[in-house]
Amino acid sequence: MARVELKQVHKTYPGGVVAVDAVDLLIEDREFVVLVGPSGCGKSTTLRLVAGLEEITSGEISIDGRVVNRVPPRDRDIAMVFQSYALYPHMSVRQNLAFGLQRRSRHRSRLRRLLSPAYRAAHAEEQQAVEQRIAHAAAMLGLEDLLERKPGALSGGQRQRVAVGRAIVRDPKAFLFDEPLSNLDAKLRVEMRGEIKRMHREMQATTIYVTHDQEEAMTLGDRLVVMKDGVIQQVGSPREVYRHPANRFVASFVGTPPMNFFAGPIVADLFSDSPAGAVLGVRPDALRPLSADEGEYVHIEAELLHVENLGDRRDLILRHPQCEQLVCRTAAAGEWQEGDLVTLEIDPTALHYFSAEGVGARIEP
C-alpha cells in the first residue's frame, strides 16, 4: 500500500468555476480517509483528480512518493469503485472479477503465446494466481455461490459486492470509493458499510472514500475531511470533528439532527463567559426537557411545533425567537402537545461558540 499526498491542488473548469481550491492533504499508508460534504463541495472531483480521471489545473499529487500528475489512470496502480456498479452484463461474476487482471496481459503477442512453451507455462501460472485472487475476494465478500451468475441475476447489494471484489483482486496501492452505497436501500447500506470496514481491517489498504452521508462517514473513517465549496474545512477523527467542529459549517453538517444555533442577546444573557457577538451552538442531545422546578443548569422556553417519534427516542421540533429551528433529542416519556411551551435545560459543559462572520470560525471562550 502507499501514502497519497495532495499539495496545493486546484481544479478550475472553463468559465472560471473553481471545483477544488488549494487542497493540501496527506493520507497515510493503510489509512481510511473519508471526504464528506454536501453536493457540489468538490469531494468527488478531488477523488477523480487522484484517480487521474480529471486533470489538475495546478498543484501536485503523489502516490507512494511518485508524482502522478501526468500519469494515466491505468498506470497509477489504484482501484476505483463507483456509485454505478459498472459491471459487464454479458460476463459472469467470475469474468467481471478477472477482467481488470486479464487486461494487463492483452498487449502481449498472440503468436508468442501460441509458440513459446516458456510463455505458455508462465501464462498458466498467471491464470492460477488470478483464480486464487478471485477465490480470496469471493470468500471475503460472500460471492462463492454467485461466481457463474450474470449481473442481471444479482440484487443491488450483490452487484456492489462484485464491484468491490473487482477492486480487491487487483491488489492496488490505494482504493478509491466514490459514493458506492448511494443506490442501495438503508438496510443494505448498513450491511455494505460493515463489509467495507471489514475489508479494510483485513487488507489494511490505503482507502479514500467519498460520501455526502455524514453518518456513513463517521462510521467508516479513521479521519474525516469535511469540504465546502472546494475548500477543506476540517480534517480530524470522527470524534474530534463532532466534539470540536472547526466552524459553524462543520457543526451544522456533522451530526444528526444538526446543531442548534442561537444568536443575539440570549447568549450573553444566559452565559456570562460568552464571547462578544458569538453564535452559540448546542447539540440536540445537550438539551433536556423538564418541568419548571427541575434541573440545575440554565433554562429556556420554546414553543413545540411537533414531535418526531423515532422508537427509542423522540425529536422535539420547537420555535425560539433566537434560533431558526430548535431541535431537542430526548428519551424522556413526557406527553407534549403542539403549541405547548416546553422548558429546556442547557448543559453549559456542552456549549460551542462561533463567529457570526463567514463560515463561523470556532471561538474558544
pLDDT in tens, 10-66: 999 999 999 999 999 999 999 999 999 999 999 999 999 999 999 999 999 999 999
CATH number 3.40.50.720 is the correct assignment for the domain at 4-243 = no
- Tell me the domain boundaries of the chain: 4-243, 256-363
Residue 113 contacts by C-beta under 8 Å, 6 or more apart in sequence? 119, 120, 123
Distance CA 78, CA 114 (A): 31
Per the CATH hierarchy, to which homologous superfamily does domain 256-363 belong?
Nucleic acid-binding proteins (2.40.50.140)
Question: ∠ CA(12), CA(17), CA(21), 5° rounding?
Answer: 55
Q: Note the pTM of the prediction, 2 decimals.
A: 0.87
User: Using 50, 70 and 90 to split pLDDT, how confident is the model at 336?
Assistant: confident
Report the chain's C-alpha Rg in angstroms. Answer: 26
Q: Is the pLDDT of residue 229 over 60?
A: yes
The DSSP H or E segment spanning 264 is none
Q: Is the pLDDT of residue 344 over 50?
A: yes
pLDDT, tens digit (0-9, with 9 covering 90-100), for 267-285: 667 777 778 778 999 999 9
SS3 state of residue 173: coil
SS3 state of residue 180: coil
Question: What is the average per-residue pLDDT within 210-231?
Answer: 95
